[in-house]
């Protein structure tokens, strides 16, 4: 029981914290991150710009869900996929010998794509995947809200909580999108000055 808590819950919370920190660091200087992403991917600039603008919010949301243990299996699955994509991107840039910035933690950390970044991401993918497989919901907010724990002040239906969380998160994403669109110059494909 203690080993499960330390290994699974500790790893899940650690991965969540890393995702939140990475998302917030990218959001802090979104324009720098967008430019870094354009150089990093070197494909489909308009799609890359769009994804780079949404990525910090997605990372932060997945991190918060992982920390709290809300919709934990889907959050861990999406985090594993997201981290795998990052890892493949780093590997491709290494194989091609491209000297580009990683952008993993935004513009505040000018980390190059190197073997350390690749190893870090491989460890994160493995940790996230292991947590996904071993997570049984014992130490999650999902369990608390599902009614298997007798707490009188909380609704017993996890569907109500899941819906509430989705509405709040969806609203935040929509607000973020509107703020991006309001500052966007569609003629140049860049933010308006």
What whole-number distance in Å separates Cα of residue 26 and Cα of residue 160?
Answer: 32
Q: Cβ distance 143 to 68 under 8 Å?
A: no
What is the overall mean pLDDT for the chain? 78
What is the domain partition of the chain in residue ranges?
Answer: 2-143
Computed on alpha carbons and rounded to an integer, the radius of gyration of the chain in Å comes to: 18
138-144-146-152 Cα dihedral, nearest 10 degrees: 150
Cβ contacts of residue 167 below 8 Å, gap of 6+? Answer: none
Cβ contacts of residue 44 below 8 Å, gap of 6+? Answer: none
**Tokens standing for residue 42:** 């070197």
pLDDT at 72 over 50: yes
**Tokens standing for residue 118:** 């690749």
Q: In terms of pLDDT, which residue wins out, 117 or 171? A: 117
Q: What is the predicted pLDDT for the residue at 176? A: 58
Q: What is the predicted pLDDT for the residue at 191? A: 56
Q: Cβ distance 163 to 71 under 8 Å?
A: no
Q: What is the predicted pLDDT for the residue at 170? A: 59
Tell me the pLDDT band of 175, cut-offs 50, 70 and 90.
Answer: low
pLDDT in tens, 133-167: 888 877 788 877 776 544 444 444 555 555 556 55
Angle between helix 115-134 and helix 72-95 axes, rounded to 10 deg: 160
Q: What is the predicted pLDDT for the residue at 147? A: 63
* % of the chain beyond a pLDDT of 70: 72
């Amino acid at each position: 029981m203690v080993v499960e808590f330390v290994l699974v819950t500790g790893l899940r919370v650690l991965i969540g914290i890393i995702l939140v920190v990475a998302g917030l660091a990218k959001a802090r200087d979104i324009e720098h991150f967008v430019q870094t992403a354009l150089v990093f991917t070197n494909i489909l600039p308009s799609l890359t710009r769009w994804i780079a603008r949404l990525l910090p919010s997605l990372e932060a949301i997945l991190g918060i869900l992982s920390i709290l243990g809300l919709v934990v299996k889907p959050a861990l699955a999406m985090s594993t996929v997201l981290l795998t994509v990052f890892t493949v991107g780093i590997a491709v840039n290494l194989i091609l010998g491209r000297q580009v910035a990683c952008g993993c933690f935004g513009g505040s950390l000018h980390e190059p794509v190197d073997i350390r970044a690749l190893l870090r991401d491989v460890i994160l993918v493995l940790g996230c995947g292991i947590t996904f497989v071993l997570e049984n919901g014992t130490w999650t907010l999902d369990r608390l809200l599902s009614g298997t724990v007798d707490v009188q002040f909380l609704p017993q239906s996890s569907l109500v909580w899941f819906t509430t969380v989705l509405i709040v998160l969806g609203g935040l994403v929509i607000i973020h999108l509107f703020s991006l669109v309001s500052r966007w110059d569609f003629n140049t494909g860049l933010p308006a000055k």
